[in-house]
Amino acid sequence: MKLKRKQILFGVAALVLVAAVLGMAMRGRGKKTPEVQTAKVSRQKIVQKVSATGKIQPKTQVEISADVSAKILRLGVQEGQFVQKGTFLVELARERYLAAVESAEATVSSAQANASLVSEI
What are the tens digits of pLDDT across the range 1-13? 677 888 888 888 9
Q: Which 3 state secondary structure label does DSSP give 21?
A: helix
Which pLDDT does position 28 carry in this prediction?
A: 63
Residues in the chain: 121
Q: What is the gyration radius of the CA atoms in the chain, in angstroms? A: 45
Mean pLDDT of 106-117: 89
Evaluate the CA torsion angle 76, 79, 84, 85 in order and state its sign. positive
| pLDDT for the residue 35 | 82
What percent of the chain stands above pLDDT 70?
A: 93
Residue 106 has pLDDT above 90, yes or no: yes
Please report, as a single letter, which amino acid is at residue 114. Answer: N
pLDDT for res 121: 66
> 13-54: per-residue pLDDT in tens?
998 898 888 887 777 666 667 788 888 888 888 888 888 899
| Model pTM above 0.85 | no
The string of pLDDT tens digits covering residues 67-104 is 878 888 999 999 888 889 999 988 888 888 899 899 99
Q: What is the pLDDT of residue 29?
A: 64
Q: How far apart are CA 105 and CA 113, in angstroms?
A: 12
Q: Each residue of 71-86: b (16+ CB within 10 Å) or e?
A: eeeeeeeeeeeeeeee
Query: Whole-angstrom Cα distance, residue 62 to residue 55?
Result: 18
